[in-house]
Every structure is written in structure tokens, then in C-alpha cells.
Structure 1
Amino acid sequence: MVQPRLLVAASALLLLMSSPQAADGGATRADAEAMVKKAVAHIKSTGDTKAYADFTAKAPQFVDRDLYIVVYRSDGTVLAHGSNAKMVGKNLIELKDIDGKAFIKERVDMAKSKNSFWQNYKFTNPETKKIEPKQMYCEKLTETVICGGVYL
């Protein structure tokens, strides 16, 4: 017979493991969705130039732990990058993750048929400097894709 305390402990552990919290106290999926929606609203209210500069300059409202905003044109060119300003202006359509997945191409292709979506790939976590599984939430806005992701 299973001890009641053991059953409670096992249930609590399962609940924690299925929690939407990201690993090591990073941002959650809900955080990513909220930040992307905030970024889209910022673009609509201030215009592309100001918003992209804010995202790239790491304005506090657009950076949260390991979560930041990136914006791509539909051809794969980076318009804003909240973790690495050197990426702005580069076309990354052919960029592949460690598994050979052309994730930028996949992302812009997904935006052609969906207004919002989640994407899985592997990327370097700016906090740990390690390649980790990542889930990116993206929303399409005209000819751009605005994204923010969480590490698993």
C-alpha cells in the first residue's frame, strides 16, 4: 500500500515538473506571450524605428531575465535584437541550430500562414552561455515577425 505522504509528495513533484515555469528561474511561456504582445503594441504606438531601437537597446520593459524581443523581416533579416545588437541588419534565413534546423526560415515560413505561433529549436541562452532547447512565441505584424522565447 502506498503511504499517503509519499502520494502527496509524488503529486507535488509532478505538479512542479509540469509547471509552465522555465528551467533555472527563467521566463515562462506566459511571460513570452505577454512581452511579444507588449512589443507589438509598442510598434503600433511608436512606429517601427523607435520600437526597434528600444528592443535592441534592451529597454527594461522588453528584457526579462533570459527573455528578450527579436524582430525579423519576412526575408529573414533581423530588424531588432534584444540580446545581440550586432545581429541587426543581417539576413539569417539560412542560420541553423545545432541539430541542423533552419529555424529562421521555418519561423518566417510559419508567419506566412499563422498570425501567432510557438516554435521549438535550440539556441545559446544569454544567461548560461549554453545551447539549450528553446520555445519561441511569435506574432506576425505586416511583413515582420515579432518574437520572444523561453529556454527549457
Structure 2
Amino acid sequence: MLSRSCFVLAACALLAINPAQAEEPRATEAEAQAMVGKAVALLKARGPDVAYKSFTEHPDGAFKDRDLYVFVYDFGGTCLAQGANPKMVGKNLLAITDVDGKAFIKGMVTMVQSSGKGWYGPYKFARPDGKGYEEKKSYCERGVGDTMVCAGIYVAAK
């Protein structure tokens, strides 16, 4: 009888877990920087055709992890690779703004042109579940030529 009671209590405890606690943890700054470093290395070693295809299609999963993915833009604002939404590739999004009117792609380009690499943000971006917006920031490094390679993380609410 005792073991059955323990089983029932354990089952109840599992059902009481907050769904937010059961979600996978979000990506960290260190993970974003490491992914961008790996992406830039692939880009320089194998060239844009191979790298951009890998970033967008991520056949081996190396450039997409939970809410973390690589995206690449040229300095004119044209999307060259996009790990979350391949429909963006080929579109010029230099003037795109977040819900507060912040031109975040333009801001990232300006930052990379002046510093070569660094963090840009925060800016507001659609949540992974599609329910509203959250603050996000992106780590970017200069790619080959006039391009930037980035990965963004959601900023934890304080």
C-alpha cells in the first residue's frame, strides 16, 4: 500500500510541474558567440555557397540549437542566410524595424562596420511561440567581404 501511495504522490508532483519549467532553456551569450565563431570559421574555410546553405538548412544541426540560429546579411541589408526563416533569404531588410521603430538590421550593420564584432541590442523580436514580442540582442562578427554573421538570444526579463 505504501508503494502505491508513493507512486500516486510522484505522479501528482509530475503533473504539478509548471510548463515553463519544462521548456528547454534558452540560449546564452556564450553559446551565441561560440556559434557565430564556428559559422565564421566555416564561411572562411568552405566559402559562402557551402556556409550559407548550412546556416539556412542546418542539415547537421550545427547552426540551429533551440532558439539560437545563424543569420547573415550584407552591409546593404540583404539577407544571405537565415536559420529560422529561409523565406527571408534574398530580401533587403535594412529598413525593417521592431515594434518600437528600432531599425535593428541597420543597427547591427553599423555596429559591425565600425567595430568588426560585438553585441547589438536590445530590440524587440517575435517570441519563438509566436505570442507577442520579447527583447532580444544579437552577437555579430564581420563575415567575408561586406557581410555580417550573427546569432541572437532572448534577453531574460529582470
Indicate whether the TM-score tops 0.5: yes
SS at match of 1:86: helix
TM-score by length of 1: 0.81
Match of residue 136 from structure 1: 138
Match of residue 152 from structure 2: 149
Q: CA deviation at 1:51?
A: 0.4
Q: How do residues 3-152 of structure 1 correspond to structure 2 at under 5 angstroms?
A: 25-59=25-59, 60-120=61-121, 121-126=123-128, 128-129=129-130, 130-141=132-143, 142-152=145-155
Q: CA deviation at 1:115?
A: 1.1
SS at match of 1:96: coil
* Percent of aligned pairs sharing the same letter: 49
For 1:58, the aligned partner's letter is H
Larger Rg: 2
- Cα deviations by residue, 1:109-151 (Å, 9 ceiling, x for unpaired): 111111111011111133x223110010000122100000101
TM-score by length of 2: 0.78
Which has the higher mean CA deviation after the structures are superposed, 48-57 or 108-117?
108-117
For 1:50, the aligned partner's letter is V
CA contact under 8 A between 2:24 and 2:66: conserved in structure 1? no
Structure 1 residue runs of 4+, over 4 Å off? none
SS at match of 1:83: coil
Report how many residues are paired.
129
Distance (Å, rounded) in 1 between the aligned partners of 2:148 and 2:78: 10
Q: CA RMSD in A?
A: 1.3
